[in-house]
Structure 1
């Protein structure tokens, strides 16, 4: 019998990733012009305070809400799911997408992706208001 793989991510690393995820979600929500109450309603989460917990890194988006959350934020559901995996399940993400990361076809840099998304959201906002 083989021994189980031991996680190389410490609790502190995982906490930091969860906070980064919360910041990413908050950036997306604000770029979409939504309040925490707005996104809670779009996602079907009864208490908007749960959105606050998620954005603070103290909670996670339930996987059964990924598609609704993505649509609420105007993010591609596949991209949203991959981002949630990258932040919340980094070992699984690496196992699934390790080859794509090496080839450069999967975005692994949170800040670079966020900067691009911010610029796109600003451009969309300007186009819609012109």
Structure 2
């Protein structure tokens, strides 16, 4: 099994997660959804899961990216690209830094 190792400090990773949470919250608010509504649309058992993600305490599961993008009304590729800035900044930099 691959263990993803970032070359970032724990503090840097936590700040990226918080920024990623703000990214998700902005998308949710732009789509006009409450945390409960989004939780229902993405199949989250508890709406508090949305709150946890929006505060940087977790990640959207990769197998749910399309469902989340659809619920938020955004293009799946753009959604994943946006998340990648926060969840996997090293890969993001390699793929998109020149854009």
Aligned: 1:11 with 2:16? no
TM-score, length-normalised on structure 2?
Answer: 0.88
C-alpha deviations, 1:53-106, integer Å up to 9, x for none? 0000011111111111011111100011111111111122223x1xx422x2xx
Map of 2:78 onto structure 1:
79
Aligned: 1:94 with 2:90? no
**Partners in 1 of 2:89 and 2:27 — Cα distance?**
21
C-alpha deviations, 1:7-55, integer Å up to 9, x for none? 4311111110100010111111011110001111111111110000000
* Local SS of the residue matching 2:32: coil
**Partners in 2 of 1:85 and 1:37 — Cα distance?**
25
Map of 1:20 onto structure 2:
19
Map of 1:69 onto structure 2:
68
Structure 1 residue runs without a partner (length 5+): 1-5, 105-130
**Partners in 2 of 1:40 and 1:88 — Cα distance?**
20
Q: Quick one: higher RCO (CA 8 Å, sep 6+), 1 or 2?
A: 2
**Count of residues in Structure 1 that have an aligned counterpart in Structure 2:** 95
Map of 1:48 onto structure 2:
47
**Partners in 2 of 1:21 and 1:7 — Cα distance?**
16
Give me the CA root mean square deviation.
1.3
Q: Which has the larger radius of gyration?
A: 1
TM-score, length-normalised on structure 1?
Answer: 0.68
